[in-house]
Structure 1
Amino acid sequence: MRRRGDLEAEIMDRLWRWGRPGTVREIVDDINLTRPVAYTTVMTVADILHRKGMLRREKAGRAWLYEARRSREENTASLMQEALGSTEDRQAALQRFVEHMPPEDVSALAAALRAAGHMPADARPPEGGR
Structure 2
Amino acid sequence: MATLGELERAVMDVLWNTDEAVSANDLRDRLDAAEDGSARDVAVTTVLTVLSRLETKGFVSRDRASRPHLYRSVTTRADHTAGLMHEVLGTAPDRDAALARFIGQVTPAEAETLRTLLGSMSPNER
- Tell me whether the two structures share a fold, i.e. TM-score over 0.5: yes
Of 47, 61, 68, the match for 1:42 = 47
2:75 is aligned with 1:70:
yes
Deviations 1:13-64 (A, max 9, x none): 1111112211111110011112312211111111100000111111254322
Of 88, 102, 106, the match for 1:101 = 106
Structure with the largest fraction of strand: 1
Quick one: which amino acid aligns to residue 45 of structure 1?
A: V
Task: Give 2:95's aligned residue.
Answer: 90
For the aligned residues, what is the CA RMSD?
1.6
2:33 is aligned with 1:28:
no
Unaligned runs of 5+ in 2: 34-38
Question: Using the alignment, how far apart are the partners of 2:116 and 2:20 within structure 1?
Answer: 29
Q: Percent same amino acid at aligned positions? A: 37
Quick one: which amino acid aligns to residue 88 of structure 1?
A: P
Question: Using the alignment, how far apart are the partners of 2:117 and 2:14 within structure 1?
Answer: 27
Question: Using the alignment, how far apart are the partners of 2:67 and 2:19 within structure 1?
Answer: 22
Cα drift, residue 104 of structure 1: 1.3
Tell me the TM-score normalised to structure 2 length.
0.83
Unaligned runs of 5+ in 1: 119-130
Task: Give 2:16's aligned residue.
Answer: 16
Quick one: which amino acid aligns to residue 71 of structure 1?
A: T
Cα drift, residue 111 of structure 1: 1.3
Question: Using the alignment, how far apart are the partners of 1:29 and 1:83 within structure 2?
Answer: 34
Question: Using the alignment, how far apart are the partners of 1:7 and 1:108 within structure 2?
Answer: 32
Tell me the TM-score normalised to structure 1 length.
0.81
Which is higher, the Rg of structure 1 or of structure 2?
1
Cα drift, residue 117 of structure 1: 3.2
Aligned residues: 115
Task: Give 1:52's aligned residue.
Answer: 57
Cα drift, residue 100 of structure 1: 1.1
Deviations 1:60-90 (A, max 9, x none): 5432211111112111111111111111211
Quick one: which amino acid aligns to residue 114 of structure 1?
A: G
